[in-house]
Amino acid sequence: MYKYTLKLEKPAYVTVGFKSEVKNFSVLNRDGKIFYIREFEPEARTFDQFNVNEAGIYTIISGQPVAGVKLTGVRYHKPIPMPKKHWNFDGPVKMIWKNINNSPACMIPKKREVYLNSMIKSYPIGVCNFVIAHELGHRYWPDEWCCDLYAINKVLRSGGNLYTCYYALEKFLNRSPSKMERIKKFIENIRKIDYGRQ
């Protein structure tokens, strides 16, 4: 595996090119935690583009050497319009580390408690943020797709990456018809995103 050190004095939109095609690569932060991961399907690619919303030192790990890196300003996205709130359990939320079956997390809206499975600690930081934001969405909606949409907006408005949201759903959802319908809804919603800068 090849390593490339990426030093950022400020947040940036990163374009990274590889000398040959890669099927996947990851970006680690200074603490060695996975900040971003990308898997290319069905075909390998020679480049990728992603936001890094915090300055610092990062390490790109890939199966091919990095050919070059271009940095520009972070790309922020205008929020996707949300449906009307179904209910409102706004207020302080208690985060509790407790494994609930194979689910990465769940929320009890009336108690304002979110239960987090320790399994999410092994996933990229952005994935964890997406999962938590999704559960917080249940303060306002019972529907999973509404909470997915809420989480997408939270991640993107913070300078996170759209692929990270998709990656979270793909890794945590099984292939049942209802779950595949949820991914279909996700794809429909991302088509509404305004990619202009705010």
**97-128 residue pLDDT tens:** 998 878 899 999 999 999 999 999 899 999 99
Q: Is the pLDDT of residue 174 over 80?
A: no
CA neighbor of 6 nearest in space, from 60, 82, 47: 60
pLDDT of residue 198: 33
Residue length of the chain: 198
> Using one digit for the tens of pLDDT, what is the confidence trace for 118-172?
999 899 999 999 999 999 999 999 999 899 999 999 998 889 998 898 888 888 8
Q: What average pLDDT does range 18-33 have in this prediction?
A: 95
* C-alpha separations of 184 from 30, 91, 111, 136, 178 in Å: 35, 31, 31, 22, 10
Q: Is the pLDDT of residue 193 over 90?
A: no
pLDDT of residue 86: 96
Distance, in Å, from the CA atom of 189 to the CA atom of 191, rounded to the nearest integer, reads: 5
pLDDT of residue 190: 67
pLDDT of residue 64: 96
Distance, in Å, from the CA atom of 194 to the CA atom of 18, rounded to the nearest integer, reads: 28
Residue 170 structure tokens: 């793909």
Q: What average pLDDT does range 179-197 have in this prediction?
A: 67
Spell out the domains of the chain, with CATH numbers in brackets.
Answer: 2-72 (2.60.40), 94-190 (3.30.2010)
Q: Is the pLDDT of residue 196 over 60?
A: no
Q: Is the pLDDT of residue 175 over 70?
A: no
> Using one digit for the tens of pLDDT, what is the confidence trace for 39-87?
998 889 999 999 999 999 999 999 999 999 999 999 888 788 899 999 9
pLDDT of residue 194: 53
Higher pLDDT, 176 or 72: 72
What is the β-pairing status of strands 34-39 and 56-62?
A: unpaired
Please provide residue 6's backbone torsions phi and psi, each rounded to the nearest 5 degrees: -115, 115
- Per DSSP, the three-state class of 136 is helix
